[in-house]
Structure 1
Amino acid sequence: MFSAGRARVLRVAAIAAAAVSSTLLFAGPANAAPPVTLGGGSGVYVEDLTTTDSVSDCTLTAVGYDNRNQLVGLTAGHCGEVGARVAAEYTRSGGIGVVAEKSEDMDWGIIVFNADRVIPTRQVAQSVINSVGAPPQVGENVCKNGRTTGFTCGPVWESRALTFRSQVCANHGDSGAPVLRGDQLVGMVVAGTDFKAGPIDIELPLCEGGGNLIHEPELATNITAVLADIDRHGGAGAGFRIA
């Protein structure tokens, strides 16, 4: 459904220059660092199962529990395949979880975390997630928190049954970023889009940060639609509630 994903592929060779290897990123619990604190807006590395020398960096939408009381994280589905291991970006600690469920159509992925390795939080930087809210309406101001471009806000331009477009700033690596109305989680960043002026599509540049006023609009999925689809799948993440 969504083709212009916001995951960013990182070559492990480039990461190694920062003294990080794939062994460290995806080490098992026996070699693990202390627990990491993660929530909506935290950056994660996701293993690329097709090659040994790259990972994707993405953003968690939220962390919570499912109806099996598993500690789970929600992110964009294009960030990684089922079975891919996950590492925390800010500590570069591996062994914290694995992608257990995903949807290609609705572009969501569920990470099942090792509850001994991850401490859930509702607050990451300026964003706080206390509840799930209804989809935003045209003209409302929403904010997103992504690992690449941080906490940014903008108006909603278009609202549909499954998605909405807004002028929040996002770039590669912000895939999965929570979109918020106050402390309500209302959406998940999945893609960038062209600006539409009637029948004309206008290609705008990617957003580089909060001070970048002219940039392409961002497409987000309505979180209520995402959670309903996760429930329909009935696997990991079903019955999601914020931790």
Structure 2
Amino acid sequence: MEFTTGVASRVAVGIAMVALMAVGPGCGPAHAEAPAVIGGGSGIALQTSDPTMVALCTMTAVGYDRADRLVGITAGHCAEDAGVAVWAEAAPRTGPIGFVAAKDVDHDWAVIELDPAHVTPVRAVGPSVITTVGAPGRAWETVCKNGRTTGYTCGVVWDANPAEFISQVCANHGDSGGPVLRGDQLVGMINAGITPFGSAEAACTGNGNPIHDPDVSNQITAVLAEIDHLGVTGAGFRLL
């Protein structure tokens, strides 16, 4: 998809890959643990085809679909396949908190069906609070994102179209799926980084790192519209 800024190349923000030392089935509890607290900005771990590895990404938001299932949304490239198990990064001993129920590779979103017995859903994660779905991101406004790798960071939107937008929010491996916010309004989901002039990627490492490549985010309105159109798990999504 072309932007008027003339983006030269686009690279996945990426997922952080870690061994199953702290998350996954190898550390399953002998006794039931407390439910994991999960919301937009929480770190999640998704099973990969390698049984010893998981992919770390960020939950975009948690809510309910029209069938009143508890669901979460994240970036599609975080999940290798539908059906893979998902854990809470911060509470691995809770065990799997859900599974990937639907995903779209081309438009890069995934829906996670969560187990209410293992999840305490929340609106606030760290400094971010998500209360409503906002209008699409627009050029020259300032937005903020919350990611499990680089935390809560803000930046200007350089360009936007109905499907996605480019912004200067900081993101790095593992931030994929992170919510992009206008105040307490959810407007986007972190998906990829870009190299405007085909240069080597200048990855952002967090607040205080002002010089870095921009990022591409899905417009959350476009994601939710497609989920509704397909009628898959997550259709009719509403926030907590």
Residue in structure 2 matched with residue 89 of structure 1 by the alignment: 89
Residue in structure 2 matched with residue 79 of structure 1 by the alignment: 78
Q: Is this contact kept in 2: 1:203–1:216, CA < 8 A?
A: no
Residue in structure 1 matched with residue 171 of structure 2 by the alignment: 170
**Deviations along 1:160-208, whole A, 9 cap, x unmatched?**
121100000000000000000011000000011112xxxx444441001
Q: C-alpha separation between the residues in 2 aligned to 1:101 and 1:157?
A: 31
Residue in structure 2 matched with residue 205 of structure 1 by the alignment: 202
Q: C-alpha separation between the residues in 2 aligned to 1:96 and 1:11?
A: 18
1:242 deviation in Å?
Answer: 0.3
Shift of the 161–203 alpha-carbon distance from structure 1 to 2, 3 Å rule, reads farther
Moved over 3 A (4+): 200-204
Q: Which amino acid in the other structure matches residue 37 of structure 1?
A: V
Residue in structure 2 matched with residue 236 of structure 1 by the alignment: 233
For the residue of structure 2 that corresponds to 1:95, the secondary structure is: coil
Residue in structure 2 matched with residue 46 of structure 1 by the alignment: 46
**Deviations along 1:14-37, whole A, 9 cap, x unmatched?**
xx2xxx363245x49x85411111
Are positions 1:10 and 2:18 aligned together? yes
Q: C-alpha separation between the residues in 2 aligned to 1:138 and 1:5?
A: 21
Shift of the 51–21 alpha-carbon distance from structure 1 to 2, 3 Å rule, reads same
Q: C-alpha separation between the residues in 1 aligned to 2:96 and 2:224?
A: 26
Residue in structure 2 matched with residue 103 of structure 1 by the alignment: 104
- Identity, % of aligned positions: 49
Summarize the alignment of residues 52-201 of structure 1 with structure 2, pairs less than 5 Å apart: 52-80=51-79, 81-92=81-92, 93-195=94-196, 200-201=197-198
Q: Is this contact kept in 2: 1:143–1:151, CA < 8 A?
A: yes
**Deviations along 1:37-57, whole A, 9 cap, x unmatched?**
110000010001x21111000
For the residue of structure 2 that corresponds to 1:156, the secondary structure is: strand
Q: Is this contact kept in 1: 2:82–2:102, CA < 8 A?
A: yes
Shift of the 122–59 alpha-carbon distance from structure 1 to 2, 3 Å rule, reads same
Q: Which amino acid in the other structure matches residue 40 of structure 1?
A: G
For the residue of structure 1 that corresponds to 2:12, the secondary structure is: coil
Q: C-alpha separation between the residues in 2 aligned to 1:24 and 1:36?
A: 18
Q: Which amino acid in the other structure matches residue 50 of structure 2?
A: T
Q: Is this contact kept in 2: 1:32–1:95, CA < 8 A?
A: no
Residue in structure 2 matched with residue 223 of structure 1 by the alignment: 220
Which of 22, 31, 45 is the equivalent residue of 2:24?
22
Q: Which runs of 5+ in 2 are unaligned?
A: 2-9
For the residue of structure 2 that corresponds to 1:193, the secondary structure is: strand
Q: Is this contact kept in 2: 1:165–1:220, CA < 8 A?
A: yes
For the residue of structure 1 that corresponds to 2:33, the secondary structure is: coil
Q: C-alpha separation between the residues in 2 aligned to 1:211 and 1:173?
A: 19
Q: Pairwise CA RMSD of aligned residues? A: 1.7
Q: C-alpha separation between the residues in 1 aligned to 2:201 and 2:82?
A: 33
Q: Is this contact kept in 1: 2:24–2:96, CA < 8 A?
A: no
Q: C-alpha separation between the residues in 1 aligned to 2:15 and 2:198?
A: 23
Q: Which amino acid in the other structure matches residue 236 of structure 2?
A: G
Q: Is this contact kept in 2: 1:24–1:94, CA < 8 A?
A: no
For the residue of structure 2 that corresponds to 1:192, the secondary structure is: strand
